[in-house]
Amino acid sequence: MAIKAEKLQKLILVCIYDPLPIQKVRIDQIRQEELFELISIIEEKGIFLADQAKNTEISIQLTRLEYTDSNNLAFDKRNLEIYENIVQLLPPLRVKAVGINLHYTLIRDEDKLAAEFIRDKFLNEKNILQDILGNKIIGNSTRIFYGEPDDHFDIRVFPVDLISREIGITLHKHKDIDIADQKLLIQTTKELLIKTCEENIKIMYKLF
């Protein structure tokens, strides 16, 4: 069955590092770069940066950096220059893990509702569960981890709502690393993004 429509949503890049005291972040230098319209500092929680025109957000927390790009472009075509600039402006980091998240929705070329498709595709014991619950199962969501604990994919499939044909998908790539070089971190993140996009193409055309 062919995919009729696809709507690309958020690309989220995450890195987990040894504790970085927020006061060590050079916020004045970030302001000088004029990368963001909004800069918010919440004491002891982190620094939050946003630019609505560029559809980008960044949160810098004690042990976590999260970059969100909400532009409607192919995931492997998104401009990571802002992410690269922010990473370079941070104090030296000891990064322990990197994550890539692709968020999108799709509609299959058939009349079946998304909830019904996911139920029939992934819920093998539907009849047994219906007997246990005493009622009809009208849909479900599913989450699958595959790979190794330190280097794996995590895919979540869910109906956008119970009466829609639109299927929501989140593909997450996690990889444990040990990097203390910002340039190497950027290179590693880009390589993982390419691998995640390749995996996503395989998932779309084999699962849906």
- pLDDT-based confidence at residue 5 (cuts at 50, 70, 90): confident
For 195, phi then psi, to 5°, come to -60, -40
The Cα–Cα gap between 67 and 84 comes to 10
- pLDDT-based confidence at residue 1 (cuts at 50, 70, 90): low
Strands 3-17 and 95-108, bridge-based pairing: antiparallel
The Cα–Cα gap between 151 and 37 comes to 35
Question: What is the reported pLDDT for 38?
Answer: 80
Q: In angstroms, what CA-CA distances link 103 with 3, 88, 172?
A: 16, 26, 9
C-beta separation of 159 from 168 below 8 A: yes
pLDDT in tens, 6-26: 888 999 999 999 999 888 998
Whether the pLDDT of residue 31 is over 60: the answer is yes
Question: What is the reported pLDDT for 29?
Answer: 86
The proportion of the chain whose per-residue pLDDT surpasses 70, expressed as a percent, equals 99
Average pLDDT, the chain: 92
- pLDDT-based confidence at residue 27 (cuts at 50, 70, 90): confident
What DSSP character marks residue 91?
P
How remote is the C-alpha of 8 from its chain's centroid? Answer: 12
**SS (HEC) of 190-204:** HHHHHHHHHHHHHHH
- Sheet of 142-148: strand order equals 38-42, 46-51, 56-60, 64-69, 3-17, 95-108, 166-179, 151-159, 142-148
Whether the pLDDT of residue 114 is over 90: the answer is yes
Question: What is the reported pLDDT for 202?
Answer: 92
Whether the pLDDT of residue 190 is over 60: the answer is yes
Question: What is the reported pLDDT for 180?
Answer: 96
Angle, alpha carbons 103-139-70 (nearest 5°): 15
pLDDT in tens, 85-105: 999 999 999 999 999 999 999
For 148, phi then psi, to 5°, come to -120, 155
With H, G, I as helix, E, B as strand and everything else as coil, classify residue 18.
coil
pLDDT in tens, 148-180: 999 999 999 999 999 999 999 999 999 999 999
Residue 176 CB-half CA count within 13 A: 5
